[in-house]
Amino acid sequence: MAARQQLLVAARRLPPAPGLRGAHRAADFLQRSVVPTLHYQRSLPRLPIPKLEDSVRRYLNAQKPLLDDDQFRKTEEIARRFESGIGRELHKQLVAQDKQNKHTSYISGPWFDMYLRARESVVLNFNPFMAFNPDPKAEYNDQLTRATNMTVSALRFLKTLRAGYLEPEVFHLNPAKSDTEMFKKLIRFVPSSLSWYGAYMVNAYPLDMSQYFRLFNSTRLPKFNRDELFTDEKAKHLLVLRNGNFYVFNVIDGDGNIVKPSEIQAHLKYILSDSSAAPAFPLSYLTSENRDVWAGLRQKLLDNGNEEALHKVDSALFCLCLDDFPIKDLEHLSHVMLHGDGTNRWYDKSFNLIITKDGTSAIHFEHSWGDGVAVVRFQNEVFKDSTQAPAVSPQSQPAAVDSSQAVQKLDFNLNDALKTGIAKAKEQFDAAVKSLTLDSIQFEKGGKELLKQKKVSPDAVAQLSFQMAFLRQNGQTVATYESCSTAAFKHGRTETIRPASIYTKKCSDAFLREPSKYSIEDLQRMIMECSKYHSQLTKEAAMGQGFDRHLFSLSYLAMSKGMPLPDFYQDQAYVQLNHNILSTSTLTSPAVQFGGFAPVVPNGFGVGYAVHDNWVGCNVSAYPARNVKEFLQCVRQSLEDIFCVLEGKHISK
């Protein structure tokens, strides 16, 4: 917790003027924000607990497109009984508990618990990836150059964050008023206990930054029944994986400054030129195991004299993975960054920065400690800094230092039980990743610009295309999940948007079954209805007014009190709604090419997507139960039909 306290202290003081620190340290910082990093943290609003009747109403609205009339009547009856009976009692208890814990949010504890108690492998089940765009200067995509520059930029981010100089994360609705030097100079003098209100008055919404400290020096440790998050901010070394071998060297010196980039470059060059064979039993496979199995094997590792080496791995600033091959295409990129071959990642690390032979780079991150908001901010800053103010150039000479002294190769003592454990983990890993298909499309007939011109929500159109595509491919409407951040609140995590609605179902039916029955104006009106309703759901979710987290928290509370699970949660319709066959997530960022994740259920799709100015990108994963290629063809067809109608053209059935 010391790292968090350090940040809070930094938030309570004003940063010194840029000239007050030695010039030799200026290069250690990305920026020197006028407003301290955590200036708004104390005054962030608390995540509201929705009214129970609102959550039940929203829940039933989400069930309507998935159930026939008889099923819906039964589910409505169960929901109403819950609302007036045990649900009301649990809700009262949740509200009372929340009042006792004003320092956090009602979802924070249960959500950490949900992740850390999960016993499945973190690979495919939880960890996503986000791939960086290439460096615009082609020669800077050389593996050694890019690895050095991204490492130095990541360290600058770390130093800037810990000094309280990183610009606070703020969502600006009117940047002309709030994202100005004048406003920043004023707001820095408003006490942090009131600062959020000052931002709110100019339509700016500061976001929660409590997760950021876990970016560095952090690892998820396997434990029986429930894992632990470990952070040791005193550690100054980087962990580098190459060819299944583990290397560490200090990247922060004794004075707390970043080691010279030319020295970091020299050490990375030394690692890249090391001809050591790949280990016969690569330790990394263990981090892909079932968590209880891994906890048992980790104890064996500790008992076998590997405590110091494991501590080096766990406490490292982050894990840099250097792969010895180039990327062939987008499908190959997704497989490499989402799972790789299991030998050259430490899946438990808060994040792995992966850089392949041709400089293709991505962040692969463990999900329990935080959400996309913190990771995307980190990626944006690292990409911007490493491309606009690179620490080294392709012509730079590495420092003349003895890397064989500075770089330590970690060796692990493995007994037969550990070797057997690694071999078994490899077998399971290979089988799991072999069963996963990943593919993507780029729809280039339009994007955000055209959709905004037609006054429809770009996200709503993307989600409508998935509903239409699934109906076209499978003839049904299914439970769909879209992630939405609640970082506008203290210790907010995520909320669920439920994109499958009576509006998307009606619209999809019209487009697929009988488009000739409807005029273009009718079809346009249906798209507008979908857009309006989806925008309402999105706004509700972002404001903490979804229903999923509320209902989840009530069931968590019942279980934590040893109560039998209420009938409401045993209703087949509730179970089906939480079996998310379409699991979707979106982001657009100047730093990110695209991202991806595996399906959350065996018969589902994992849909990563982004609506850009003039095109739509979609990266989809599935296991053998589903056909990815066919689904993507259906998505493309749906987008073509929707754009056609919006432009006033007829579609053929």
How does strand 319-322 pair with strand 351-355? parallel
- To the query of whether residue 335 is one of the catalytic residues in this protein, the response is no
Q: Which residues pair with 496 in a beta bridge?
A: 483
Q: How far apart are the C-alpha atoms of 255 and 28, rounded to whole Å?
A: 12
DSSP result, 38-57: TTTGGGPPBPPPPPHHHHHH
Write the secondary structure of 627-641 as one string of H (helix), E (strand) and C (coil): CHHHHHHHHHHHHHH
Smallest CA-to-CA distance from 461 within 639, 644, 645, 631 is with 639
Neighbours of 403 (CB within 10 A): 19
Q: Which residues lie below 8 Å from residue 216, measured CB to CB, with a gap of 6+?
A: 3, 158, 231, 233, 317, 318, 350
Residue 350 · residue 367 · CB < 8 Å: no
Q: Is 568 exposed, middle or buried (0-12, 13-18, 19+ CB in 10 A)?
A: buried
Q: How many CA atoms lie within 13 A of 108 on its CB side?
A: 18
Q: How far apart are the C-alpha atoms of 156 and 564, rounded to whole Å?
A: 51
Smallest CA-to-CA distance from 272 within 323, 326, 341 is with 323
Q: Sign (positive/negative) of CA torsion 345, 586, 317, 222?
A: negative
Q: How far apart are the C-alpha atoms of 224 and 406, rounded to whole Å?
A: 36
> Would you state the structure tokens that stand for residue 70, as one six-digit string?
């008889």
Q: Which residues lie below 8 Å from residue 104, measured CB to CB, with a gap of 6+?
A: 490, 491
DSSP structure class, residue 432: H
User: From the candidates 91, 335, 339, 367, which is the catalytic residue?
Assistant: 367
Q: Sign (positive/negative) of CA torsion 127, 465, 588, 530?
A: negative
> Would you state the structure tokens that stand for residue 31, as one six-digit string?
């920026």
Residue 356 · residue 373 · CB < 8 Å: no
Q: How far apart are the C-alpha atoms of 218 and 211, rounded to whole Å?
A: 11
Smallest CA-to-CA distance from 599 within 611, 587, 585, 610 is with 585
Q: Is 75 exposed, middle or buried (0-12, 13-18, 19+ CB in 10 A)?
A: buried
What are the two backbone dihedrals, phi and then psi, of residue 148, each rounded to the nearest 5 degrees?
A: -65, -50
Q: Give me the residue label for tokens 């920065």.
A: 353
Residue 128 · residue 600 · CB < 8 Å: no
- List the catalytic residues: 367
